[in-house]
Amino acid sequence: MGKFSDDAAKLLAYVGGKENINAITHCVTRMRFVLADPKKASIKKIEALPSVKGTFTQAGQFQVIIGNEVADFYKEFTAISGIEGVSKEATKQAAKGNQTPLQKAMSNIAEIFAPLIPAIICGGLILGFRNMLEVMVVLEEGSFLAGLDKFLWIIGEAVFHTGIPVGICWSVQRKMGGTPALGIVLGLTLISGQLVNAYGVAGMAAEDWAPNYVWNFGFHSFRMIGYQAQVIPAILAAFTLAYLERFFKKVIPQVVQMILVPFCSLTLAVMAAHFVLGPIGWKLGEVVSSVVMAGISGNFRVLFGAIFGMFYAPLVITGLHHMSNAIDLQLIAAGQAMNPIQGTMLWPMIALSNIAQGSAVAGMAALQKKNARAQEVNIPSMISCYLGVTEPAMFGINLKYRFPFFCGMAGSCLAGIISTSCKVQAAAIGVGGLPGIISIMPQYMLMWAIAALVAIVVPFAATYIIGKKRINTETGVSFEEEAEEAAGDEEEAAVLAKKEHEFTEEQKAEDFAAPIAGHVMPVTEVQDEVFASCAMGEGIAIDPAEGKVYAPYSGEITVAFPTGHAYGIKAANGKEILIHIGMDTVELEGKGFSPKVKQGDIVKQGDLLTEVDLEYIRKQGKPVVTPVIFTDETPVELLKRGTVAAGEKELLKLG
């Protein structure tokens, strides 16, 4: 067992168990919990643990002060609990009480994607490179570049087509305190090879569905649709699984939970995903497609350009932006049927939106130039975005800080107005970033370049100007994060100040004083194996003659049971004492006891701790013999036996 194993196990129980922990991390001195129900945390019991110096709640996080050894404590706690820790940022999810619904939604999405950022950045750079390769180089079959392009698609497909749904389901389960492995299985069911690939659904003829791609249950049938690269269906399915798992853990007996909880929760979640949530997502996608088609081809295309430019980035978050490919192809086909040089006005705006989000990241990179850790994410995300893949930028940075995302939307809106007012068209779907100019028809290239310049300058400038008020350019950390950390430090200092009460030299030199009047004996003579064996520490026992219990030392009350039958004191001289009044008196549930102190109180030697109705306790069949134990392993020698008065000294010789 490790140094903190016992305290870590107790802390797990006292915070409400594993199921009550949504996230956990630590900082320099504190354990940081995000609890599903903060009321379940037994603060008094937690603060009574030897390793714990205090607790407080700050910014929605329940924080337990451990001190300089918090890293070691954290390792043992996560090992015992089986809970995988998350980043400090991820634990901030509970601090949303004052946020608007939109802010909460954006924060939740950002937190779900936080663990996926490294993979998304890697996939984004690879797809960006392939985009450039396929547009700027003639890839001859059998050539090195053609082979490289084909090989790299393995990674790109794994990250964005199949990895996104699986990663989301895993991340949500992890965030909600569920079983991550069930999330992975749920995600795999969304991208199964038995289903029609999401990218082929829009172009699949009605007669091609049945019977190969339909689940027919007699009373009703469902299309077998895959959800590759889809975000919203995956998020909805994953949260459904998380809440189902919580529900079944509550109602299913523990003896069969291992079998029935995964089966019931996963089966119902998969059914909900494919029969309810997924179809809703596709219907929403069809509505979006119809609106886009009507807007881009109608008389209000400039207004539509402003709206589409503004809201294309949020559309990417949902995964519904993939519908735009089908619309682009339909516009190109319809245009070429009427006029060989006509193309699509939609794709140029998509490329501009990508550029705008990348420029917002560029603004963050300028603000955080002194933050090397932030730049590790900023730079590759910006490059990926400019090459046409926006997920790393949006999920890794812009949604995390929020204001860069809106700055990108504003720049995209202005660029969209310029593009549609000048009727900028693309001859084909190309690269959705700066290289997108290759897809633009020659006569529109200049205007698209001007729109692209707006998409670069406006988000960068807006992000930098707004960020100057929100980001400390010297540290690259947001003022909000710094203020939260500072508030936490102040709260910790206040807690520790209370803990480190200054006692006088006289109090530190006090001799032990009998806490009760009565008959004193060695603790080894009591009829309780735990106390008699000195398993909790050496000490004495007193058969009380009166029902008043006093403080044997000046010190702090570290334990004060609600039942009033036991008190722990950390003396001014450093000794730790437990006074346990009677045997099995906890079963009386506080009857017969009148406590005068509470946990955290500072007492002087001789202060009254509690009054006890000894006759009542005896009538309940409970012994009233009271062990007084030195729980800090201090050797104890009893110098006197027999009758003692309350407050009498020179009773003990302490090692």
So which residues are the catalytic ones? Answer: 27
Closest CA to 31 of 16, 50, 51, 45: 51
Beta bridge mates, 566? 580
**Residues contacting residue 560 through CB under 8 Å, at least 6 positions apart:** 44, 567, 568, 595, 597, 598, 599, 601
Per the structure block, which two tokens stand in for 385? Answer: 């975005």
Residue 369 identity: K
Crossing angle (nearest 10°) for helices 403-421 and 346-367: 150
Given a contact cutoff of 8 angstroms between Cβ atoms, the answer to whether 92 and 521 are in contact is no
Alpha carbons 637 and 260: distance in angstroms, whole number: 57
Structure tokens at 529: 């194996």
The rounded distance, in Å, linking the Cα atoms of 47 and 43 is 6
Per-position DSSP letters for 65-109, written without gaps between them = E--TTHHHHHHHHHHHH-PPP--TTGGGGG--TTS-HHHHHHHHH
3-class SS at 141?
coil
Token readout for 581 is 């009044």
Amino acid residing at 478: S
Largest CA distance in the chain: 113
Contacts of 602 (CB under 8 A, 6+ apart): 501, 555, 556, 557
The contacts of residue 288 (CB under 8 Å, 6+ apart) are 315, 320, 323
CA 89/CA 91 separation, integer angstroms? 5
Contacts 24+ apart (CB under 8 A), 6-10: 7/49, 7/50, 7/51, 7/52, 7/73, 8/73, 8/76, 8/77, 8/80, 8/81, 9/80, 10/45, 10/49
Cα distance between residue 35 and residue 20, in whole Å? 6
Cβ partners under 8 Å of residue 441, min gap 6: 341, 343, 425, 426, 427
Secondary structure class of 476 (helix, strand, coil): coil
Residue 521 pairs in a beta bridge with 541
Name residue 628's amino acid.
Answer: V
Helix (H, G, I), strand (E, B) or coil at 214: strand
Q: Kindly report the length of the chain.
A: 655
Q: Are 65 and 54 in contact (CB under 8 A)?
A: yes
The bridge status of strand 555-560 relative to strand 602-603 is antiparallel
Beta bridge partners of 471: 478
Q: How far apart are CA 284 and CA 133, in angstroms?
A: 34
Kindly tell me the burial class for residue 608, based on how many C-beta atoms sit within 10 Å of its own C-beta (0-12, 13-18, 19 or more): middle
Q: State the DSSP H helix or E strand holding residue 568, giving kind and residue range, or none if neither.
A: strand 566-571
Element holding 571 (H helix, E strand): strand 566-571
| C-alpha closest to that of 120 among 371, 353, 384 | 384
The count of C-alpha atoms lying within 13 angstroms of the C-alpha of 568, restricted to the half-sphere facing its C-beta, is 19
